[in-house]
Amino acid sequence: MIGIRLISPADAAEIAALIAANREHLAPWDPVRDESYYTTDGQWRLISDVLRTGTSLPHAIVEDGRIVGRVNLNNVVHGAFQSSSLGYWVAADVAGRGVASAAVGAVLEAAFTTYGLHRVEAGTLLHNVPSQKVLERHGFERFGMAPGYLRIAGKWQDHYLYQLLSDKWLAAREAAA
């Protein structure tokens, strides 16, 4: 069974081991990372910093009690904006099995019901068709292309931009019920 839960600093060792084991798998989709990123101490500091600032809601993707990836609501803004950006990754051994899709569905449920967001945005590299399919499966609509959007794998890369509004998500959920 796939689930999500908020990450805590106590997860640092498990996440560091998972990231280190999946370094090559994640490299084409990630920024170039400092070596400390792959250590328990590095993950502990990152998780602690994110939780302290309160601008992100990092979640572990859990399958049968084991962390198999992350799904995050980043840059959370409340007030008139009520928005965040979505990011996610899964370990190589669970990729292509619907794990990312299940986790995205669970975090959208939390975003729109528990956290009260109005809009969730996501970006994908132009050639990341599997990630685009995950987003589209959940009702995200592509609304643009951002040239040189993020520095991924050591170079500035273009991204397709997607968004999902809470009212569209709610209408789709009600139609499916």
Mean pLDDT (the chain, rounded): 96
- The predicted model gives 106-112 an average pLDDT of 97
Give 70-91 pLDDT, tens digit per residue: 999 999 999 999 999 999 999 9
Q: Is 137 helix (H, G, I), strand (E, B) or coil?
A: helix
Contact 87, 74 (CB under 8 A): yes
Give 68's strand partners.
Answer: none
In the predicted model, what is the mean pLDDT of residues 142-164? Answer: 98
Which of these, 105, 51, 115, lies nearest to 83 by C-alpha position? 115
Indicate the pLDDT class of residue 100, thresholds 50, 70 and 90.
Answer: very high
Answer yes or no: are the C-beta atoms of 86 and 74 closer than 8 Å. Answer: yes
- Structural domain including 120 reads 2-176
Is the pLDDT at 166 greater than 90? The verdict is yes
Q: Measured between alpha carbons, how far is 171 from 166 in angstroms, rounded to an integer?
A: 9
CATH number at residue 118: 3.40.630.30
Report residue 174's pLDDT band, with 50, 70 and 90 as the boundaries. Answer: confident
Q: Residue 52: what residue type?
A: R
Average pLDDT over residues 141-166: 98
The count of domains in the chain is 1
Q: DSSP secondary-structure letter at 92?
A: G
Q: What is the pTM of this model?
A: 0.95
Alpha-carbon distance of 158 to 161, in angstroms, equals 10
Query: 160 is written with which tokens?
Result: 């397709």
Asked whether residue 177 carries a pLDDT value surpassing 90, the answer given is no
